Amino acid sequence: MVKPFLRAGQKIVVPYGYPIVDTTIKYTYETMEMDIRDLKARYPFLETGVAGKSVLGRDLHYIRLGSGPNQVFYNGAHHALEWITTPLLMKFAEEFLKAYTEGKNLSHGYDPRDIWSKSSIYLIPMVNPDGVDLVLNGLHPDNPYYQDLLRWNKGSTDFSKTWQANVRGVDLNHNYNAAWQQSKNAEAAYGIKGPGPTRYGGTAPESEPEAKAAADFTRSHDFRLVIAYHSQGQVIFYDFMGMAPPEGKTIAEQFAKVSGYSLGRSTGIASYGGYKDWFIQDYRRPGYTIEVGRGKNPLPVSQFQQIYNSNLEIMLLASII
């Protein structure tokens, strides 16, 4: 879809009736930045900010929906191939804001004004912008890690079907301090000898600025619940080594009911070092990894609407449950 308007530098020229977030395209970091600016211009009361920076200095943007004391946090695109989770959160923000300003209910009768007064929904739509750029735009000679990335990617400048890591070859969802050493110990069994497309956990927990930023952002708030969006499988993971609180499974069952997704338990190296693992371990509060869609990553944008429809009520319910 080509939007019937133009952007002129920092100034928005998007007529109110037209959507800002285009969910029919490959959703790049630059697109996300423009959309955040346009949402802020259309809804000046919207709180936006920067939670940190990537290895290459890209801002890790956050959005806050609501002003209430019940704080929740949803993030997307820890993994580069899973960039479809970014427009999922961005479209949610746009539709929530539109319904809020118009005084209309969202899906299944949720009242955004009621949620706004009770809760604060924080979003970091793209945790791994450098990795997403590699997947969507390829490797260019001006990248300071050019030679390393070529070697790690078996000599190819095409990262579109293989790359989950950040620009230093670290899998951000294995870079949190939750059984991190067990993840490192398991790498050899998976043929992982150092930086590469996936599963390499880095040199230490939070060695990567993107993972540290997400952890610091969490530490600076009082989140009652978190969701890390990934793809694919239509599965909800809710536990970490038996540390999830009893309500963690109960809430997961509610998420499964409204989405049609199934509940799952991680096995092998996938069981360690993830964001929700760390949150459950350190806070003993409900944390979730939700795998959206079905197929092989990167999922096609043709799946977006189904993914959105399946997850909209999860994101609304999670803010008040």
Say what the pLDDT of residue 2 is.
43
DSSP of 188-251: GGGT--SSSSS----SSTT-SHHHHHHHHHHHTS-EEEEEEEEESSSEEE--STT-S-HHHHHH
Token pair of 53, please? 């920076």
| Total domain count, the chain | 1
Q: Is 175 helix (H, G, I), strand (E, B) or coil?
A: coil
Please tell me the distance from the alpha carbon of residue 134 to that of residue 100, in angstroms, as a whole number. Answer: 36
Predicted TM-score (pTM) of this structure:
0.95
> How confident is residue 67, by pLDDT bands cut at 50, 70 and 90?
very high
Residue with token string 């799946």 = 303
Tens of pLDDT, residue by residue over 124-142, are 999 999 999 999 999 999 9
Which CATH number covers residue 270?
3.40.630.10
**pLDDT exceeds 60 at position 5:** no
Q: Taking all residues of the chain, what is their mean pLDDT, rounded to a whole number?
A: 95
Say what the pLDDT of residue 17 is.
74
Q: Is 122 helix (H, G, I), strand (E, B) or coil?
A: strand
In this structure, of 11-20, 174-183, 237-246, 247-256, the range with the lowest mean pLDDT score is 11-20
Looking at residue 44, the DSSP 8-state letter turns out to be T
**pLDDT exceeds 50 at position 9:** no
**pLDDT exceeds 70 at position 277:** yes
How many helices (DSSP H) and strands (DSSP E) are in the chain?
A: 10, 8
Say what the pLDDT of residue 13 is.
54
Are the CB atoms for 28 and 133 separated by under 8 Å? Answer: yes
**pLDDT exceeds 50 at position 107:** yes
Residue 161's domain comprises 1-321
Closest residue by Cα to residue 61 from 32, 84, 102, 83: 32
Say what the pLDDT of residue 266 is.
85
Mean pLDDT of 273-284: 98
Are the CB atoms for 279 and 218 separated by under 8 Å? Answer: yes
> How confident is residue 312, by pLDDT bands cut at 50, 70 and 90?
very high
β-bridge mates for residue 119, sequence order = 70
Mean pLDDT of 288-310: 98
State which amino acid sits at residue 318: A
β-bridge mates for residue 263, sequence order = 236
Tens of pLDDT, residue by residue over 157-204, are 999 999 999 999 999 999 999 999 999 999 999 999 999 999 999 999
Say what the pLDDT of residue 243 is.
97
Known catalytic residues?
A: 291
Say what the pLDDT of residue 321 is.
96
